[in-house]
């Protein structure tokens, strides 16, 4: 299913980090944890510790399921339903598997980054609750910007890859 060693290592590592983080914090967390922050980064909603941990794991498994599901479905999807530049070139019998592997790599990198970003946000909630704070801080916007920049970079890289035609 995975298309190369580095992608596999990064994906598995991001899943492990996302699964271990709640366990690491659980015993030291207070009974309520900030679960929602307004636009200025101030906590405006809280959850019980067990519900927040359950939410954390549910979100992680949902993200993983979506990306793995897409990876499984993409191979079974008819070419006519896939929107791709130069599709006639990239989906010839000798190139189709390579093209699908490129797309799978993109999906697993996107999933890994999304998991790490969500894990970072959960970590911020845990840290804020342990310090009795209620503010994400302005730096959260830097991390959101970095996440968006990297995702856009990966999307552009994917588009440029499929826009090129090897002669």
Average pLDDT over residues 124-147: 88
pLDDT in tens, 8-64: 899 999 999 999 999 999 999 999 999 898 888 888 899 999 999 999 999 999 999
Among 22-26, 36-40, 145-149, 152-156, whose mean pLDDT is lowest?
A: 36-40
> Does residue 89 carry a pLDDT above 70?
yes
> Does residue 1 carry a pLDDT above 60?
no
* Cα(58)–Cα(50) distance, integer angstroms: 12
Query: Computed from CA positions of residues 101, 105, 110, 116, in that sequence, does the dihedral angle turn out positive or negative?
Result: positive
pTM, two decimals, is 0.86
Instruction: Indicate the average pLDDT of the chain.
Output: 91
* Cα(65)–Cα(58) distance, integer angstroms: 10
Domain count along the chain: 1
> Does residue 2 carry a pLDDT above 60?
no
pLDDT at 3: 57
Q: Which domain does 26 fall in, by range?
A: 5-163
Percent of residues, the chain, with pLDDT higher than 90: 62
pLDDT in tens, 91-122: 999 999 889 989 889 999 999 999 999 999 99
Query: Residue 26, Cβ neighbours under 10 Å: how many?
Result: 13
If pLDDT is split at 50, 70 and 90, which confidence band does 136 have? Answer: confident
Yes or no: say if 123 and 22 are a contact pair by the CB < 8 Å rule.
Answer: no
CA 161 to chain centre: 21
């Amino acid at each position: 299913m995975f298309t190369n060693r580095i992608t596999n290592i990064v994906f598995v590592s991001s899943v492990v980090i996302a699964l271990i983080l709640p366990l690491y914090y659980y015993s030291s967390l207070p009974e309520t944890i900030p679960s929602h922050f307004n636009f200025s980064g101030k906590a405006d909603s809280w959850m019980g510790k067990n519900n927040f941990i359950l939410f954390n794991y549910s979100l992680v498994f949902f993200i993983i399921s979506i990306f793995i599901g897409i990876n499984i479905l993409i191979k079974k999807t008819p070419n006519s339903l896939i929107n791709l530049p130069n599709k006639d070139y990239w989906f010839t019998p000798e190139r189709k598997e390579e093209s699908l592997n490129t797309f799978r790599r993109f999906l697993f990198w996107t999933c890994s980054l999304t998991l790490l970003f969500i894990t970072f946000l959960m970590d911020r909630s845990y840290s804020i609750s342990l310090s009795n704070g209620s503010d994400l801080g302005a730096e959260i916007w830097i991390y959101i910007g970095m996440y968006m920049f990297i995702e856009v970079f990966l999307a552009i890289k994917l588009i440029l890859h499929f826009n090129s035609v090897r002669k």
